[in-house]
Amino acid sequence: MKVVVINSGSSSVKYEVFESSDLSVLSSGSLERIGESESQHTHRIYGPSGTVNETVRRGRVDNHEEGFRFILSTPVDSPVIKSSEELLGIGHRVVHGGEAFREPVLIDEKVIETIRELIPLAPLHNPANLLGIEAARRVFPGVPQVAVFDTAFHQAMPPHAFIYALPYSFYALHRVRRYGFHGTSHLWVAKKAAAHLEKPLTSLNLITLHLGNGASAAAVREGRSVDTSMGMTPLEGFVMGTRSGDLDPAVPFYLRRATGMPEGDLEALLNKGSGLKGICGANDMREILQMVSRGEPLAQLALELYCYRIKKYIGAYFAVLGRVDAVVFTGGIGENAALIRKQCCQGLEALGITVDDTKNEKAYEEVLEIQRDGAPVKVLAARTNEEREIAEQTLAALLPCSGPRRVREGAP
């Protein structure tokens, strides 16, 4: 039996297919440019000896339901799945679960309606996630499907961490509060860190740093998120690829008055035209590091600002936790950019946080220790695997002793 993980965007579908018995990856792929004149489907099959067979097809795909059927029409020598009878379940990434969802949930009409009601909190993400859910339910009507929420891990935060200092009625009536995101990634690497340290996750205090084009931190006490840098939306927190991160709330009002910029354009500026891109014109850290090596001053400023903001959060979350067993870097930048890890930890020696240059430059597969010998706080780089975490959570929502089509009710 197989478990499929689906991450649906407004014009794309990404998927990964796992063997349910051991969660080994069988295949993965993406369908891009849905609704355009020509869509592209890339499909990869993983062989037992580590081989990868990739096929690329193109064709017109008008909507997500057509997209799933196009994916399923992959030639018979490399099918995604042969029939829905092979499927134990399908797990869907959903960005925003609000306060309604604290764990994976079996998708039914009530769950779909609740996700739809949460669209105002995630207007760029939840509609696209719903497109994938509704299309998959039509294409696979007999297969149980599970929603796994980016926000769920952070629902353990105490009120003093998630309430904003606004009139309390805005929370009571409109649920304006900190929710946090990247929860599946923070949970995955927290578990990886615990396994690497050979200690129960419930005994550890961790600061996890998911650094990609979007980026966030989490303070994890005894396996539970007690604070996180992203807020009601993914705009708060770190400087990111195109997002501003933390900002004086008066700045948008000032810019509106000073420039006459319409509200929608201003929101787009903060989400898509700010951050690293706004400072130096690039949002890919690899490109920025090349610009720094050429001596470009705005790229150097962007790099310093990026690392400085992360360093401040490390210090803040050290204060929140009181004791820190490990700082864990993950995400495309956190996993691969040794210079970023080094600069984020510079000056934190008084907290027991150090980086050994030789260790930091080593190649690794899953987890790499980079702290200096004898340092009291471990510093780790760990590969995240959000798809595998979603697959695990999907399986956890299925009752293994009751047959492949019996699942635990999970509606809110």
The separation between CA 345 and the C-alpha centre of its own chain, rounded to angstroms, equals: 23
Token pair for 290: 């090349």
Closest residue by Cα to residue 220 from 176, 161, 140: 161
- Determine contact, residues 65/138, Cβ cutoff 8 Å: yes
Q: Cβ neighbours of residue 75 under 8 Å, at least 6 residues apart?
A: 55
Catalytic site residue from 22, 62, 108, 150: 150
Residue with tokens 């890339």: 42
Active site residue 62: no
Q: How many CA within 13 A on the CB side of residue 119?
A: 9
Residue spans of alpha helices (H) in 140-283: 159-162, 168-174, 183-197, 250-259, 263-272, 275-280
238/313 Cα distance (integer angstroms) = 8
Angstrom CA distances, 210 to 30, 128, 253, 283, 381, stand at: 23, 23, 30, 16, 10
* Contact present, 338 and 360 (Cβ < 8 Å): yes
Please calculate the CA angle 335-340-345 and round it to the nearest 5 degrees. 105
CA distances from 329 to 300, 321, 370, 383 (A): 21, 17, 10, 9
Q: How far is CA 296 from the centre of its chain?
A: 31
Rounded to whole angstroms, how far apart are CA atoms 36 and 253? 37
Taking residue 362's Cβ as centre, other Cβ atoms within 10 Å add up to 12
For tokens 């829905």, the residue is 84
User: 386-396 and 183-197 helices cross at what angle (nearest 10)?
Assistant: 90
Give the total residue count for the chain. Answer: 412
- Non-local (6+) Cβ contacts of 372 within 8 A are 354, 355, 356
Q: Which amino acid is at 272?
A: K
Active site positions, annotated: 150
